[in-house]
Structure 1
Amino acid sequence: MDYCELPLPEGPWRKAVQAAPRFLPFLSWLPDVSARSLKADLWAGLTGAVIVLPQGVAFAAIAGLPPQYGLYAAMVPVIIAALFGSSMHLVSGPTTAISLVILANVSHFAEPGSAEYIRLVLTLTLLAGMFQLGLGLARLGAVVNFVSHSVVTGFTAGAAILIATSQLGGFFGVEMPGGGGVWASWRHLLTHLPQSNPRVLGLGVFTMLVVLAVRRLNPRLPALLLAMVAASLAAALLDGASHGVRLVGALPASLPPLSLPLPGFDEVRQLVPGALAIAMLGLAEAVSIARAVAVRSQQRIDNSQEFIGQGLANVVGSFFSAYASSGSFTRTGLNFEAGAKTPLAAVFSALLLAAIVLLVAPLTAHLPLAAMSGVILLVAANLVDLDGIRHILRTDKSEAGVLAVTFLATLFVQMEFAIFCGVILSLLMYLKRTSHPGFTVLAPDPDSLRRPLVNVERKPVPECPQLKILRLDGSIFFGAATHISEELHRIMNTFPEQCHILIVGSGINFIDATGCRMLYDEALSLKLSGRDMFFCGLKSEVREVLERGLCLKRLGGRHIFDTEAEAIARMVPRLDPERCACCHTRVFRECEHMPGGEHYQPLGGTSV
């Protein structure tokens, strides 16, 4: 029986059962697990477990930790993040960026690799997890809504190139310099390409061809895992080890030991800045990766729940000798490409990794690094959303700029800064749009019986020579007040003969004190020059602010009307009768009652 179909108890237990999926999110997808999904998740988990073996060792070295700590970070935290997060495909674990930040923060206080260093790293992980968990429980996941699709697309494309670049040495059998950027790595590869090992390159290409062939013959088979097994057999048949083919090597066979990372006051003071940086970096990485994959899997992500999952993963993981983890682009992309259906794939990945480390760690020594590099290159290629990039470039130049900046920042600046850079640029563009609301000139449509007000730019219709009707599309707040004032002055100077202005306020969502003052100043300026400003269609909240700000009282008389029809009916009699007598436009029905109206037929219909 489905969890949602279970009969709910009465009383306080009913609310507890209804709230259970929020605190135990795995209850929402666990009933959907089937034999078919279990099989797919098991194969995807096995593939991920094999891939993370050499990666975990490499990331631990980057963080200044013994190699086994990279494997520990890919066990317990992965399970916790999968069960308590919201993404169906996100796989957590050690990452390059967080490993670098850890080394930069903790190396000031202890020698990398020492027992004190390990203790401080685990303490740092606990603090970072507490920050993340607090943000999630406070339901502050909405802050990452400012990470637009353009930012995610650009970040994903840049990360894919970085991932591919990191695998070039292993794929071609060329020693790559450490610490170089993208251009330096590619330049080094091109200059040393004649020195590449043909057997290594052949194994890498062979692995990729096997993946493509298996996917073409039977997409349900674990193509990536089968390709790595085939490459291992090929390396053994070719005696690759004696011809320069590098293998993963034997790994330590041990499970994560328990730890007690309880910090003292001085340690908290020293580690809090770094813990906060790691917490924000980890959240930005995890949510961005989860959203990037969710676009392809058509899934909705709960940002706050993802915060909770990442926070719990680091808090619990720190007691199992796991250093700070986050979402992994490589393993998440690999998980999705391998056919994972539920978060159980990540759980299986962690459990199978533990089993591999315990039982078959010596066998992993036969896996060639070139095979792993070939698999990761295919995963990186699939991370680039070409259709999404073309859509953004075609649709919006501003968003295209955000995409380009995020992409370049990911390549040439620190990866963690790239997301913040894209977000800041998106916010600046958002502020520019909201602070530059536009005025739309309206006039009655003579071709419609109801005479609705239409945009004169889209449909050229005659305007009243004395009354200018404008619709303001945007809110009036301190950031937009100056722009609105300048636009009003421009319109008044361009059309000085239209002595009255009617502002249709249906598009004004809110107004603040600065906006209220600006409207009063503009209306007063018009009054001193013999002109007047009126409003109609204002929302109740906007009207209340104008009344509280004494704007209406200072103007005197009635300047606000409920509808456009009422406003026009009241304003037309105020127009200059001498100008109306010689006017041939007669755009309003009320014009037939003005002087000279008996000689002209109205254009028909009602005012609006």
Structure 2
Amino acid sequence: MHIIRRTGQLLRSTGLHPFPLGKTIRNYSWAKAKADGKSAINVVFLDFPQGMAYALIAGLPVQMGVFCSALASITGPFLASSRFIMLGPTNATAVMLLSTFLTLGYSQAQAVVAMPLLLIMVSLFMICGALLRISAITQFVSRAVIVGYITAAAFLIIVNQLKTVLGLHVPRAGTFAESLWNLLKGIGGTQWESALIAGITLAIYLPLKKFARGIPTVALCLVLTALVVVLMRPLGIEFEMLSPINAAAWPLSIPSLHWAEINQLVGPALAVAFLSLLESSSISKALAAQAGDRVDVNQQMMSIGVANMVSAFGSGMAVSGSLTRSALNFRSGAATPIASILSGTLLVIILFLVGGLIGYIPKASLATVVIIVGFTLINRAEISVIARTTKSDFAVFLATFLGGLALPLDTAIALGAITSIVLFVRKAARPNMKEITFDDRGNLTPEGLEEKRPEIAIVHVEGDLFFASSDLFLEQMRRMVSHANQRAIILRLRNARHLDATAALTIMDLIRFARKNNCAFLVSGAHEEIDKIFQRSGLMAELGEENFFRYSEGNPNVSTRDALKRAQQITGLTSADITIFAAEKKEDAEENH
């Protein structure tokens, strides 16, 4: 009891709630129960076949996907923030698992043994991330990275399931390129029985998808295909079937702790945790926005971390937020997170009732359904938007997508994220300033004369001034300071953001360089963040308080006016030529005028 109380205190100290479901239970009603029950029934008929399909994608026994769906659906809501999110296996995490185990050269048996350890590591990463409240990191990952990853994952799904559809027994591989090569080399061994049942599955699925909307299409397709197989048995045609699931023998999985294996799995575990966070945060935010709810992504991350821990000991696979099941839960009118608990409970009941009948489903049939799912992941509309919007977005997409075809997927998503950050920093690191001078009437004009340098310059810094932009900023400022006519520079920092130690050291170098060139250096428009940086870094002592002018809310221009008076006092120039160097924004020029 004492441990539970201390855990609750720890969670509250980090802004997390130890038992958010408690409020739901206290305010539960019969009307909410009916809405949750209806939603649970709709979701469970999608959950069962999807669980099997995602396990097949990951190269694992199909029961691991079903076990994972049931356990995550039941345990996730106890700590969840969203009332709609459905936890369990997903396409994205399943492909990441497939790529991981193929890259490591694990057989299916070895992957099953390694899975509990991998899930515990994923769980710990997500729980620590939730406690440290790092969910904001997702906003720094471009959408182009996610689209590129999912597109590459779709290609890997398709090529890996084609061998099952064709009845081929070819070597497994960790990348799309290698898998495609193995498939092409073994194409001569195609078994017509597998190809036949794949064609029958497709002939059943496509009309159902088009004309039987509102029913569990995938589940009904697999049932009808199983009936066709039973009817064909008197003809002597044999198919490779899935193994039946014995729910009564649901095993407890115990992780094997070996330092060498921990070293091998730490990278993939971090990649799965990061991917789960990206996937779940985008889904929960989208559904919350549609429903008018508020969602705490860090709380949701804690929920996923705990669900992964339960899955680790319950013979499951990696847990994330499912887009299709969560969207169905939302459309079905779920009132509370209890809808997920009811859905998971129904899944367990169904597993006990019909688990043995899974043995009537041909492997090629389920593989065909998985390939169809793979094609739906290729979002041509999103790819078109990314390709037409900016060159940098398309470059990020191509880096992730092409990397995903040639490299393991955890490497590809890291490559995409790094490319996205590098291109962002490259754009942010280019301060854009132009010269604005006074004409004879005292008005601001956009361009000054190159041959005539001002005696007093006001440099307006707009945007980010951090390590990546420091070199270019220093180069521009040094050229200005070193000009023979330059007597004073006023650095206007009202709209400068994100100053760091590199920027502070750069400004300190500029102050010293200006003094050597008999050029006064002043700062105006300094807001509170700038003030703190100058105080902490020692810049204030170097510059001198008398040359530092703070921004005033009541009069935005008074600090620059006072700095100009101070510059005239230092230089003795009461009628100096003055130029403003500013970012190309009309409002800035009007404000300075």
Change (3 A) 1:482 1:187: closer
Q: Is the 8 A contact 1:152 1:292 kept in 2?
A: no
Structure 1 residue 525: Cα displacement: 3.1
TM-score by length of 1: 0.72
- 3-state DSSP of counterpart to 2:17: helix
- 3-state DSSP of counterpart to 1:473: strand
Unpaired segments ≥5 residues, structure 1: 1-12, 588-604
Q: 1:179 aligns with which of 139, 159, 172?
A: 172
Which residue in 1 is equivalent to 2:41? 42
Which residue in 2 is equivalent to 1:213? 210
Distance in 2 (CA, whole Å) between partners of 1:286 and 1:225 is 26
Q: Is the 8 A contact 2:88 2:320 kept in 1?
A: yes
Q: 1:288 aligns with which of 256, 265, 278?
A: 278
Change (3 A) 1:556 1:355: closer
CA deviations on 1:242-283 (whole Å, 9 max, x unpaired) are 446544353334252456x488xxx46566545644542331
Amino acid at match of 1:154: G
Structure 1 residue 99: Cα displacement: 6.6
Change (3 A) 1:347 1:23: same
Q: Is the 8 A contact 2:276 2:320 kept in 1?
A: yes
Q: Is 1:485 the counterpart of 2:474 in the alignment?
A: yes
Which residue in 2 is equivalent to 1:10? none
Which residue in 2 is equivalent to 1:316? 310
Query: Which structure 2 residues correspond to residues 564-583 of structure 1 after superposition, within 5 A?
Result: 564-568=560-564, 571=567
Which residue in 2 is equivalent to 1:23? 18
Q: 1:394 aligns with which of 368, 371, 388?
A: 388
Change (3 A) 1:369 1:474: same
Query: Which structure 2 residues correspond to residues 87-102 of structure 1 after superposition, within 5 A?
Result: 88-93=84-89, 95=94, 97-98=96-97
Which residue in 2 is equivalent to 1:523? 511
Query: Which structure 2 residues correspond to residues 202-281 of structure 1 after superposition, within 5 A?
Result: 202-214=199-211, 218=213, 220-236=214-230, 242-243=236-237, 245-258=239-252, 261=254, 267=257, 269=259, 272-273=262-263, 276-277=266-267, 279-281=269-271
Which residue in 2 is equivalent to 1:473? 462
Amino acid at match of 2:148: G
Q: Is the 8 A contact 2:474 2:506 kept in 1?
A: yes
Which residue in 2 is equivalent to 1:532? 520
Change (3 A) 1:340 1:168: farther
- Corresponding residue pairs, total: 546
- 3-state DSSP of counterpart to 1:508: strand
Query: Which structure 2 residues correspond to residues 352-431 of structure 1 after superposition, within 5 A?
Result: 352-431=346-425
Deviates more, 1:568-577 or 1:306-315: 568-577
Amino acid at match of 2:272: G
Q: Is the 8 A contact 2:205 2:217 kept in 1?
A: no
Q: Is the 8 A contact 2:38 2:332 kept in 1?
A: no
Q: Is the 8 A contact 1:444 1:607 kept in 2?
A: no
Structure 1 residue 71: Cα displacement: 4.7
Amino acid at match of 1:313: A
Q: Is the 8 A contact 1:160 1:380 kept in 2?
A: yes
Amino acid at match of 1:521: D
Q: Is the 8 A contact 1:79 1:347 kept in 2?
A: yes
Structure 1 residue 49: Cα displacement: 0.7
Amino acid at match of 2:309: V
Largest Rg, 1 or 2: 1
- 3-state DSSP of counterpart to 2:248: coil
Distance in 2 (CA, whole Å) between partners of 1:183 and 1:102 is 16
Q: Is the 8 A contact 1:465 1:498 kept in 2?
A: yes
CA deviations on 1:25-83 (whole Å, 9 max, x unpaired) are 44677869564564344222222213323654785xx56xx875565444324432354
Change (3 A) 1:323 1:168: same
Q: Is the 8 A contact 1:516 1:551 kept in 2?
A: yes
Structure 1 residue 509: Cα displacement: 3.0
Amino acid at match of 2:458: I
- 3-state DSSP of counterpart to 1:22: coil
Q: Is the 8 A contact 2:205 2:221 kept in 1?
A: yes
Amino acid at match of 2:270: M
Query: Which structure 2 residues correspond to residues 308-347 of structure 1 after superposition, within 5 A?
Result: 308-320=302-314, 322-327=315-320, 332-333=323-324, 336=327, 347=341
Structure 1 residue 165: Cα displacement: 2.7
Q: Is the 8 A contact 2:113 2:255 kept in 1?
A: no
Structure 1 residue 380: Cα displacement: 2.8
CA deviations on 1:158-213 (whole Å, 9 max, x unpaired) are 22222233333445x35262324424555666784995746334323323422431
Deviates more, 1:33-42 or 1:277-286: 33-42
Structure 1 residue 537: Cα displacement: 0.6
Which residue in 2 is equivalent to 1:80? 75
- 3-state DSSP of counterpart to 1:505: strand
Distance in 2 (CA, whole Å) between partners of 1:557 and 1:96 is 59
Structure 1 residue 478: Cα displacement: 4.9
Change (3 A) 1:431 1:293: same
- 3-state DSSP of counterpart to 1:506: strand
Distance in 2 (CA, whole Å) between partners of 1:319 and 1:439 is 59
Query: Which structure 2 residues correspond to residues 586-601 of structure 1 after superposition, within 5 A?
Result: none
Change (3 A) 1:586 1:285: closer
Q: Is the 8 A contact 1:131 1:276 kept in 2?
A: no
Change (3 A) 1:574 1:133: closer
Unpaired segments ≥5 residues, structure 2: 1-7, 551-558, 581-589
Distance in 2 (CA, whole Å) between partners of 1:138 and 1:586 is 47
Structure 1 residue 155: Cα displacement: 1.6
Distance in 1 (CA, whole Å) between partners of 2:178 and 2:102 is 23
Q: Is 1:161 the counterpart of 2:155 in the alignment?
A: yes
CA deviations on 1:209-261 (whole Å, 9 max, x unpaired) are 2243136xx4x3333333333444445556698446544353334252456x4
Structure 1 residue 413: Cα displacement: 1.6
TM-score by length of 2: 0.73
Change (3 A) 1:78 1:163: farther
Structure 1 residue 485: Cα displacement: 0.9
Change (3 A) 1:370 1:297: farther
Aligned-pair identity in percent equals: 19
Deviates more, 1:282-291 or 1:525-534: 525-534
